[in-house]
Chains A and B, each alone.
Chain A
């Protein structure tokens, strides 16, 4: 079973993502702040990370950068999720190496489809 790490300080969003992804046969790990997210990423070596941008302690951009510039983790696809939608934010997201950028509110089915696409 493929392992997905969901990092978001909004527990409700984590919950709904976890629900649909588990229904699609993924095994989900959750973290509710950046620090835990980064630690968990290194610990469990997930197959994909769904990462929120605005989080306490370490934000999503920083986590993405830390992982993508580390040979050990750089192949883990990262889907960046945020309420921000300004073009420049999108650019920052891409610079930090995130593979995909999803704006809230999103369609749960779209997220599941994207995850499946990356883990084919």
Chain B
């Protein structure tokens, strides 16, 4: 039935329309002769159509009154066919005239009704669209916030804010496992919650939580009584009552795979739509991934801090031990010096043999302590380098002359093959001497009698440097020219399986000869670190029982960049 209210102060007109509409049983027709009662009539039973006689006094005011009371009704004005005041159409949805036929009036009413219905539908779908858009925006801004932090407490806060933006809740109860050491219940409420209500919410939350783990063990047993609560109240002047539990509610876990971060329940006075439910689930799921990242990040930070502390302790330990060892070592060395100098009397041949043995081992111990100190200094970033233009051939010559005697005493020959076109490099010459001395000393140690050790240098482009498979991954050279130094021996060589470990700390290759040769196994790792400080690299080729070739390369730079 279409309800029509007819307002006219003309009796004959009322009668005419009354008889006309009452004939048709699709209409419920009622009339008013003036506007005095209008608000009572239309507010009780809103008509679909209101037809107003334009001869009613102050029609514009009446129109306003109707619009304010029932904005959804259609207003049609009845005007006389010769009326001059046609511009009142502005206020109406349609016009009918006195002289219109009944069919025409019905058809005008029907068209207007249909139009109105279409408009209503359009407006509703617009509203839905606007709602979706708003929710999408809320989701978007929430996920942007999620991406911007690795602070777990902030992530939970952003989740709650996001839910408020998208769903405007009355209360959220978030059981968070990840913001503090123990689980905590965060209550974001519009109004104040009494202690009794909070106790009830706690119990409810723990029940909800346990229901998530019906068949398996819950990550933690939660005792509702001792559960810590954080309340955030928007309007503390008002209070929620227990009727809160009659509100519409939704519940979701915050988890990713096996990682459980908590759960959230949300209450609202009006009903949640299916879209609301999707949105709620999405936000609860979305926050889990950044929470997982934050957890991993935190673990990395903690592990790193632990490692750094261990590293520092190790360095301090080495440093202290080395210093403490040096003092007694000095006393032993001084005593041996005095005895060997003959100042305390003549020494027998066998006495001299044992004194020399003691002295050799004091020097060895001293070398070990120096190596340990060097390594701990490099690792602690405390090693001082004195970079200056350096010619590698000068370094080679120095090392050759320093070690020739030792080599000769073992029946070995050191020869050098130095390229002449080698430019100066930016280097600490003393450190390079240390590196080269170590390589040549090793060669002397591990090469049997009557063999040769060759030290060579050349200028070579990185693309022409061949690095074997064992070091391809660890040795990285940038494009450009390098000074390449090679120490080649005809010694015992290194087995394939040991090759990659040659530069590891304390990794002196296990065999009787190396043990006999002595050493800390720190020389090569120190050499590696010293070269890395020069932006250089070290690696080796070797064949068991044939010999080894140790290479190191240091980038060249323009001389003006050196000083």
Query: How close is B410's CB to chain A, nearest CB, in angstroms?
Result: 25
Chain A: interface residue total (CB-CB under 8 A):
19
Number of contacts between A and B (CB, 8 Å)? Answer: 51
B384 touches A17 (CB 8 A): no
CB contacts under 8 Å to B, within A12-71, are: 12-13, 16-17, 19-20, 23
Verify if B214 is at the interface (C-beta below 8 Å from A). Answer: no
A10 to B330, CA, bound (A): 10
Which residues of chain B are near A10, meaning CB under 8 Å? Answer: 327, 330-331
Verify if A75 is at the interface (C-beta below 8 Å from B). Answer: no
Query: How close is A84's CB to chain B, nearest CB, in angstroms?
Result: 6
B329 touches A104 (CB 8 A): yes
Query: How close is B484's CB to chain A, nearest CB, in angstroms?
Result: 31
A83 touches B327 (CB 8 A): yes
Verify if B373 is at the interface (C-beta below 8 Å from A). Answer: yes
Give the residue of B330, B338, B373 whose beta carbon is less than 8 angstroms from that of A106: B330
B338 touches A104 (CB 8 A): no
Q: A16-B335, A20-B338 are known contacts. Are A105 and B330 too (CB-CB below 8 A)?
A: yes
B337 touches A23 (CB 8 A): no
Which residues of chain B are near A85, meaning CB under 8 Å? Answer: 373
Verify if B326 is at the interface (C-beta below 8 Å from A). Answer: yes
Verify if B461 is at the interface (C-beta below 8 Å from A). Answer: no
Which residues of chain B are near A109, meaning CB under 8 Å? Answer: 337
- In this complex, the member of B326, B334, B362, B373 whose beta carbon has the largest number of chain A beta carbons within 10 angstroms is B334
A105 touches B326 (CB 8 A): yes
Verify if B112 is at the interface (C-beta below 8 Å from A). Answer: no
Chain B residues touching A, majority SS: helix
Which residues of chain A are near B343, meaning CB under 8 Å? Answer: 19-20, 23
Which residue of chain A is the closest to B384 with respect to CB atoms? A87
A87 to B366, CA, bound (A): 19
Give the residue of A16, A20, A86 whose beta carbon is less than 8 angstroms from that of B331: A16
Verify if A108 is at the interface (C-beta below 8 Å from B). Answer: yes
Which residues of chain B are near A106, meaning CB under 8 Å? Answer: 330
A12 to B366, CA, bound (A): 18
Which residue of chain B is the closest to A10 with respect to CB atoms? B327
Q: A10-B331, A83-B327 are known contacts. Are A108 and B384 too (CB-CB below 8 A)?
A: no
A107 touches B337 (CB 8 A): yes
B327 touches A13 (CB 8 A): yes
B330 touches A104 (CB 8 A): yes
Query: How close is B379's CB to chain A, nearest CB, in angstroms?
Result: 14
Which residues of chain A are near B451, meaning CB under 8 Å? Answer: none
Query: How close is A102's CB to chain B, nearest CB, in angstroms?
Result: 10
A31 to B373, CA, bound (A): 30
Contact with B along A62-105 (1 / 0, CB 8 A): 00000000000000000000011111000000000000000011
Verify if B558 is at the interface (C-beta below 8 Å from A). Answer: no
A23 to B377, CA, bound (A): 38
- In this complex, the member of A23, A83, A84 whose beta carbon has the largest number of chain B beta carbons within 10 angstroms is A83
CB contacts under 8 Å to A, within B415-454, are: none
Verify if B516 is at the interface (C-beta below 8 Å from A). Answer: no
A16 to B323, CA, bound (A): 19
Query: How close is B359's CB to chain A, nearest CB, in angstroms?
Result: 11
Which residues of chain B are near A105, meaning CB under 8 Å? Answer: 326, 329-330, 333-334, 362, 366
- In this complex, the member of A10, A20, A104, A105 whose beta carbon has the largest number of chain B beta carbons within 10 angstroms is A105
Verify if B61 is at the interface (C-beta below 8 Å from A). Answer: no
- Beyond contacts A10-B331, A20-B334: 4 other A-B pairs, Cβ-Cβ < 8 A, are A17-B334, A83-B324, A83-B330, A104-B326
Residues of A within 8 A of B (CB): 10, 12-13, 16-17, 19-20, 23, 83-87, 104-109
Residues of B within 8 A of A (CB): 323-324, 326-331, 333-335, 337-338, 343, 362, 366, 373, 377, 382, 384
Can you list 20 residue pairs at the A/B interface with Cβ under 8 Å?
A: A12-B335, A13-B331, A16-B331, A17-B334, A19-B338, A19-B343, A20-B338, A23-B343, A83-B323, A86-B382, A87-B384, A105-B329, A105-B334, A105-B362, A105-B366, A106-B330, A107-B337, A108-B334, A108-B338, A109-B337
